[in-house]
Amino acid sequence: MAVQTEVAAPRLGFRVPGFARRHGFVYAFALAWLVIVVAAAALADLLPLPDPTAQDYAYVRSGPSGAHWLGTDSLGRDILSRIVHGARVSLIVAALALLLGLTIGLVLGLIAGYFRGFVETAIVTLADSMLAFPALVFLMVLTGVAGQSLTNVVVGLGVIYVPTFVRLARANTLVFAQREFVLAARAGGARSGRIIRRDILPNVAVPVFSYSFVIVAHLIVAEGTLSFLGLGIPPPRPSWGAMIAEGRQDMADYPHVVLLPAAVLFLTVLCMNIVGDRFRERLDIRESAV
Amino acid sequence: MTAPLLEVDDLRTWFRTDRGIVHAVDGVSLTVGRTQSVGIVGESGSGKSVLARSIMGLLPPRRTLHPSGRISFEGQDLAQLPARRLRRLWGAEIAMVFQNPMTALNPVVRIGRQLTECLPGLSGAAARAKAVELLRSVGIPAPERRLAEYPHSLSGGMRQRVTIAMALARDPKLLIADEPTTALDVTVQAQILDLLERKRKELEMSMIIITHDLGVVAGRTDSIVVMYAGKVVERAPTRTLFARPRMPYTEALLKAIPRIDDPPHTRLDAIGGRPPDLVDPGPGCRFRDRCRYAQPRCALEEPPLRPAETPGHEYACWFPVGTPEGAAAAGADARTAGRPAISVEA
C-alpha cells in the first residue's frame, strides 16, 4: 500500500504531505492556519514586527511595501503588526469568554439535568430568559455602566454564552443520567456529587468541548462586532473589529485597510468552524461505536 | 436456623403517573437465606426489576410511593437506616449486576479506573493488583492489559464479566443480578451464569437472579419465585417447580420454552395477550384473561398465595394444575371451547 502511494505521488508533480492525504486538504489547511494564528498571537512580541501603535508618517495608507509588508492604515501604523497583535486580543477575549461561559454553563447544566425538579425549572427558566434578552443591548448597557475594558468585554461575552452551555450540558446530562452505569454507581453507594463528577461529567464533556470550537468562532465574530461598534477593547490596542471600523471611511480609496483584517477574521472563523465540525464528527463516531 | 439474609415483607412499590397510580409491585414477600440462590421469573412488566430496585433503593424518589412493606437485611430494616449507613451497605454488602453491559460501564473511563473505584481504602499498586486479581477471577484473559482499555474494546460477554468483577469487588453478602444474560449471545449466556454460580459458591454469598427465561434459572437456583403483574403467583424449590407447577402461568411459561428435540416447524406454545394494566388491575386473578383454565370465580375473587402439599411450595390459583379442581376447570374449558374463556353475568 505504502509503496503504491509513493509511486503514484510524483505523477501529481509534488508530494502530498501525509497528514493532508489522510485528513483532506481543507482540514489540513484549516488546522495549519489556526496554528499560525495562535502562534503569531502568542509570539507577537518576539516577532520582528514594528510596534502596532507606532505611526510612520512616510507611509500613510500605503499599499504593501518592503517596509510594511501589508501596508499601513490611515495613521501610518503597520497593518501586519496590528493584525498579529489583534489576533492576540481576539483570541484572549474568545478563550476567556469561552472558559467563563463553559464553566458556569456546564456546572448549571449538570445540576439541572441530574437533580431535576425545582432546581432544573429555576435554572432552565433563568437560561431561557437570558436567551430572550437581546445580547447587544446587554453588552451596550454593561460597557456603558461598567466601562470599556478587557475584563468587561470578557465577562459580557461569557455571560451571553452561559445559556447555550446550560442547554447543551443539561440535555446531555439527561441522557447519561439514565444510563445503567449511573445506576450501578448509585448501587455501589456513590454520592450524587461523585456520580456527577466521575460518571456524568466525562461523558458530557465530550459534546460540550467539541461544540466549544464553534462557540469560539462565534465569540471571535462577537468581539469583532463589539469593537466595530466601538464597544470593545479601548484603542489604541489593535483588534480586528476595530481595524475594520477605523478603515471604514477610506474603504473606497484604500480598500486594503479594511479588507486585510476582514479577510484574516473571515479565514480564522472559517477554519475554526471546519476544525470544530471535524472534531464533532469524530467524537460522534466514537460515541456511537460505544 | 439463623435469620434469613434478606427478608422482604408485603412490599408495595407504586408509581405516580399521569394515568394514575401504577401498582408495579403489589404485596410481594420474599426471603433469601444465607448462601441461597433465588430466581425471580416473570415477563416484562411483571415487576421483577422494580422489586430489585426497591431492595437497592434505586427508584426515582419523587414518583415512587411505598404504601406498605418492609425490607430487612440481616435483621435491620432498610427504610429505618440513615442514608449514610445505606451507602455503606450498597456495594459492600449488597451488589448488583445490570442487564446491559453495553450501558452499565462508563464509556469514557478506562476499565482499570472503573474497577479501582469500587475498591475504597486501596490505592495505587494495591488497588491495581486487586483489580487484576478480580478480572482474572472472572475469567478475563490478560487482565493487566485490560485495565488500560476502554469498555468499547471489549465484547459484550467480557464487559459483563467486568461488571460482575465490579459487583464482587467488595465481597458482598448478596448479589442481585437483574437479567444478567439478556443482552448477551446465547453461547455466552451459559458461561456467565456458570461464572455467577461458581463465584456464589466460592464467596459463600446469596444471589437473586432476575430473568424472564426459566431456562436461565433451571438447575442453577435453589428456589424460584414466579411473578405476574406485580404479584408472586408461585414459589417453589427449583426442582419442584419444574416437576409440578401448580399455577397455570408457570405451566404456560414452561411450555413456552422451545425444545431442541421438537420436530422442525413445531409451533411455539406462546402465551397469548398481554399482562393487565397495572393502573387498575381490577378484582380477581390478574392472569385470568390469558389463562386457559379461567372460570367465573377467577374474575371475582383474587386467589391468595396458599401452600401446596409439596414442601416450600406456594401458589395463587383457584384451579391449580394437577389437582382435582384444576382438572375440573380444564374439563369445563373443553366443554366451553369456542366460547370466551370467561363470561360473567351480573
Query: Does one domain contain both B234 and B219?
Result: no
Domain termination site, one of B193, B223, B253: B223
| For testing contact with chain A, the best of B55, B108, B115, B117 (most A CBs within 10 A) | B108
Report if residue B78 sits inside a domain.
no
Q: Give the separation between CA A290 and CA B159, rounded to whole angstroms.
A: 12
Write out chain B residues lying below 8 Å of A188, CB-based.
90-91, 95, 118, 166
Report if residue B344 sits inside a domain.
no
What CATH number corresponds to the domain at position B110? 3.40.50.300
Q: Which parts of chain B register pLDDT below 50?
A: 335-346
Find all residues with CB under 8 Å of B96, minimum gap 6, and list them: A184, A187, B52, B56, B167, B175, B176, B177, B178
Residue B12: strand, helix, or coil: strand
- Residue A158 has what pLDDT? 92
Domain termination site, one of B194, B223, B252: B223
The per-residue pLDDT for range B189-248, each reduced to its tens digit, is 888 888 899 999 998 999 999 998 888 888 889 999 999 988 899 999 998 888 888 888
Query: Does one domain contain both B99 and B190?
Result: yes
Query: Does one domain contain both B286 and B190?
Result: no
State how many domains chain B has: 2
- Residue A287 has what pLDDT? 47
Q: How many helices (H) and strands (E) does chain A have?
A: 12, 0
Q: Give the separation between CA A100 and CA A83, rounded to whole angstroms.
A: 25
Report if residue B14 sits inside a domain.
no
Q: What percent of chain B has pLDDT over 90?
A: 12
Q: If you average pLDDT over every residue of chain B, what do you get?
A: 84
Query: Does one domain contain both B188 and B313?
Result: no
Q: How many CB atoms lie within 10 A of CB B129?
A: 12
Could you say which of B96, B100, B103 has the minimum Cβ distance to residue A187? B96
Query: Does one domain contain both B44 and B188?
Result: yes
**A–B: how many Cβ contacts below 8 A?**
63
Domain that holds residue B281: 229-261+277-336
Contact assignment for B98 to A183 by CB distance below 8 Å: yes
Query: Does one domain contain both B238 and B144?
Result: no
Query: Does one domain contain both B238 and B283?
Result: yes
Residue B104: strand, helix, or coil: coil
Residue A111, min C-alpha distance to chain B (Å): 16
ipTM surpassing 0.85, yes or no? no
Q: Which residue of B has its CA nearest to A175?
A: B103
- Residue A4 has what pLDDT? 45
Report if residue B113 sits inside a domain.
yes
Domain termination site, one of B200, B223, B246: B223
Q: Give the separation between CA B119 and CA B123, rounded to whole angstroms.
A: 8
Report if residue B72 sits inside a domain.
no
Report if residue B271 sits inside a domain.
no
- Residue A15 has what pLDDT? 59
Query: Does one domain contain both B208 and B238?
Result: no
CA distances from B82 to A243, B78, B118, B202 (A): 65, 9, 21, 31
Query: Is A286 in CB contact (< 8 Å) with chain B?
Result: yes
Q: Which residue of B has its CA nearest to A283?
A: B108
The per-residue pLDDT for range A90-131, each reduced to its tens digit, is 888 899 999 999 999 999 999 999 988 889 999 999 999 998
Query: Is A193 in CB contact (< 8 Å) with chain B?
Result: no
pLDDT by position in tens, chain A (length 290): 444 444 444 454 555 667 767 777 888 888 888 888 888 888 877 777 777 776 766 666 676 776 666 677 767 677 788 888 888 888 888 999 999 999 999 999 999 999 888 899 999 999 999 989 888 888 888 888 888 888 888 999 999 999 999 999 999 999 888 888 888 888 887 888 888 988 899 889 888 888 888 888 888 888 888 888 878 777 777 888 888 877 777 777 777 778 888 888 899 889 888 888 887 777 764 444 44
Contact assignment for A190 to B87 by CB distance below 8 Å: yes
Residue A178, min C-alpha distance to chain B (Å): 10
The per-residue pLDDT for range B27-60, each reduced to its tens digit, is 899 999 998 999 999 888 888 888 988 888 888 7
Query: Is A172 in CB contact (< 8 Å) with chain B?
Result: no
Report if residue B120 sits inside a domain.
yes
CA distances from A14 to B191, B242, B259 (A): 57, 77, 68
Query: Does one domain contain both B129 and B233?
Result: no
Contact assignment for B166 to A184 by CB distance below 8 Å: yes
Query: Does one domain contain both B281 and B316?
Result: yes
Report if residue B8 sits inside a domain.
no
Query: Does one domain contain both B97 and B169?
Result: yes
Which stretches within B71-180 are classed as H helix? 83-89, 111-116, 124-137, 143-146, 156-168
Query: Does one domain contain both B38 and B173?
Result: yes
